[in-house]
Structure 1
Amino acid sequence: MVLYYKARPDAGDYTIYMGADKNENEELIKYGLPEDVWFHVDKVSSAHVYLRLKKGDSIDTISEGLLEDCAQLVKAHSIQGNKMNNVDVVYTSWSNLKKAPSMDVGQVGFHNPRLVHILTVEKRVNEILNRLHKTRVERRPDLKAEKDASNAAEKAKRKMQLKEKVRHA
């Protein structure tokens, strides 16, 4: 089961989501999309929280409020991290996640550690979490089908761009 949340209204129409357990996290790692940004509490167990960016957005243009929503959610879904203050949350583009066969379920590494951002969460902010939990929806999506559809759409877009380029040449 995947848990979906709506980001703060002033941030725009963004979806934040996470797996309900480590096996769901494994599926999310496997079937992520290029516009997904992954969040996790650094050095302790936590949920894997994802932010789906809009086409054209980048990890460097995520608003502070949107980052705070994701960071608060990942902190709240960490048994150890939820009890601590000044918790570091790491985040990176989904495409930077590296999964080796020898890794435990839910465990990931990074292709390029320099592309990992760190955000410190001073304390739990219940107002943010209460707002997010009011928007929570549980679904059982077909992640593979979503990934396949995204790949097909991207392929069709590239094909159309190539046709346009040839037509105007």
Structure 2
Amino acid sequence: MPFRTFILGNYEIRVGKSATLNDELLKLSHKEDIWLHARGVPGSHVIIQMNRSNDFPPTNIIEKAAEITAFYSKAKGSSLVPVIFTKRKYVRKGKGLPPGAVFVDKEDVILVKPTEPIELN
């Protein structure tokens, strides 16, 4: 499996394993999925699959996914990490950007403690 996969409630969470796989994860995600990334540091792209729903997941799902995102970043040793999240439709790959680099047009930020998840795969 090219991504780490976790289940939070009724939501599947996918985590990129490298910059190249982060790009692949972005391509495979739907515009209504939720995209997360640790702010200002290298790390995995994380997707909460929304099954084409326009809704936003509950706050506790965003928080847990953000904790996973923080854990799979260079800031995982920090006590608190800012994690940005937005709908996938607001994240785009620009021409000439290196693997894993993206532009984010609209974002929210949550401050979380990096937490190691229980990996299912």
Q: Structure 2 length as normaliser, TM-score?
A: 0.88
| Structure richer in helix, relative to its length | 1
Look up the match of 2:10: 13
Tell me the residue number matched to 1:72. Answer: 67
Match of 1:45 in 2: 42
Q: What residue is the counterpart of 1:158 in the other structure? A: none
Q: Deviations over 1:93-130 (max 9, x none)?
A: 111112112211000002x3xx3111011x234xxx3x
Deviations 1:42-80 (A, max 9, x none): 000111111011443423xx212101211111111112x
CA contact (8 A) 2:29 2:49 kept: no
Alignment of 1:1-169 (within 5 A): 1-7=2-8, 12-59=9-56, 62-79=57-74, 81-110=75-104, 112=105, 115-121=106-112, 123-125=113-115, 129=116, 132-134=117-119, 136-137=120-121
Cα distance in 2 for partners of 1:98, 1:26 equals 10
Structure 1 position 13, deviation (Å)? 1.1
Q: 1:32 to 1:54 in 2, by over 3 A?
A: closer
% identity of equivalent residues? 22
Letter in 1 for 2:114: R
Stretches (4+) displaced over 3 A: 54-57
1:35 Cα deviation after fit: 2.6
Higher-Rg structure is 1
Report which of the two has the higher share of strand: 2
Separation in 1, partners of 2:31, 2:114: 29
Q: TM-score, normalised by structure 1?
A: 0.65
What is the alpha-carbon distance in structure 1 between the residues aligned to residue 23 and residue 51 of structure 2?
A: 23
CA distance in 2, matches of 1:19, 1:55: 20
SS at match of 2:76: helix
Aligned residue pairs total 120
